Amino acid sequence: MSTDEHSVPTLIPVRDAAARRAGHPTLRRVLRWVSNILLFLGVLAFVWTFVIWKWGDPVTALYTRYEQHQLAKQYVKRVVRVQKTLPKIAPTVSIPAEERAIAKEAATYRADSKTGEAIGRLTIKRLHLNMILINGTDESSLMRGPGRDQRTYMPGQHQLVYIAGHRTTYLAPFADINDMKNGDLVTVSVPYGVFTYRVYNSVIVPATDVSRLNTFGKDVVILQACHPRFFATHRYLVYARLVHVTPTRGRPYELS
């Protein structure tokens, strides 16, 4: 049997380098491992977003909870110190005279309050809120709790009291501010008295609308939070008017 030494042997297709690499068992395992990691991170991000939406950021909440504890201790000492200076209001004095006396105490307290200092306690049943109120709405102050804008006034001064708070982080005191309804009560306790406000309105305004800080000669609290949640394009504002005062050194009275 003869053979042809010049015959061409049958060629077997050879995969290119990329195809060989893609088919390598080790590379397939690596790609599968990477895809699983990415899937896990995606699920984790979704769960984390849901947790923050539902309950607020748990990490920043730890910081605020600690700061609130420290502020509460400081505030107790401040209450004792301030109340020693309060004059007693005679039970026979007229309500207008009592209001003037409280307004004077409030003005003094406002002048003596520094940025970042504890000035009172804010209580809102609808929001399950009971926190120390901070003097100031700068970033550092609001990380510690709801804060009073220092361009506005103290309770009892017959002027606007503007209070801002976070909605998703730092214990998110105003997370559910949009759930508040007309008739809900907002209580601000300060060393010279307890002031109870009743909600009567809520509005959404652009974040640039600083005219809302202008006082209008009435004892009104405005609660403010970013809107919608996770964004800062607008502000959700809740208005509440003063309806009841319990002075520290006087007799309680209602307002019409």
Mean pLDDT within 4-21: 49
For residue 143, give the amino acid letter.
M
User: What are the Cα distances from residue 4, in Å, to 7, 8, 10, 11?
Assistant: 6, 9, 14, 17
Name the band, by pLDDT with cuts 50, 70 and 90, for residue 23. Answer: low
Q: Of the given ranges (52-61, 150-159, 166-175, 186-195), which has the lowest mean pLDDT?
A: 52-61
In tens, the pLDDT along 76-115 reads: 999 999 999 999 888 889 999 999 999 999 999 999 999 9
pLDDT value of residue 229:
85
Q: How far is CA 242 from CA 51, 117, 161, 183, 192, in A?
A: 35, 24, 10, 12, 15
- Lowest-pLDDT range of 39-43, 136-140, 148-152: 39-43
Considering only the top CATH level, what class is 57-254? mainly beta
* Digit-coded pLDDT (tens) for 210-234: 999 999 899 999 999 999 987 889 9
Phi-psi region of 247 (alpha: psi -120 to 50; beta: other; left: phi over 0): beta
Other beta carbons less than 10 A from residue 83's beta carbon: 12
For residue range 24-35, list pLDDT tens digits in order.
Answer: 678 777 777 776
pLDDT, the chain, mean: 87
Distance CA 230, CA 167 (A): 8
pLDDT tens, 62-76? 999 999 999 999 999
Q: Is the CB of residue 173 less than 8 Å from the CB of residue 188? A: no
In this model, does residue 158 exceed pLDDT 90? Answer: yes
- For residue 188, pLDDT beyond 60: yes
Q: What is the pLDDT of residue 235?
A: 96
**pLDDT computed for residue 61 by the predictor:** 94
| % of the chain beyond a pLDDT of 70 | 82
pLDDT of residue 244 exceeding 50? yes
d(Cα 220, Cα 203) in Å, to the nearest integer? 15
Q: How high is the pLDDT of residue 141? A: 97
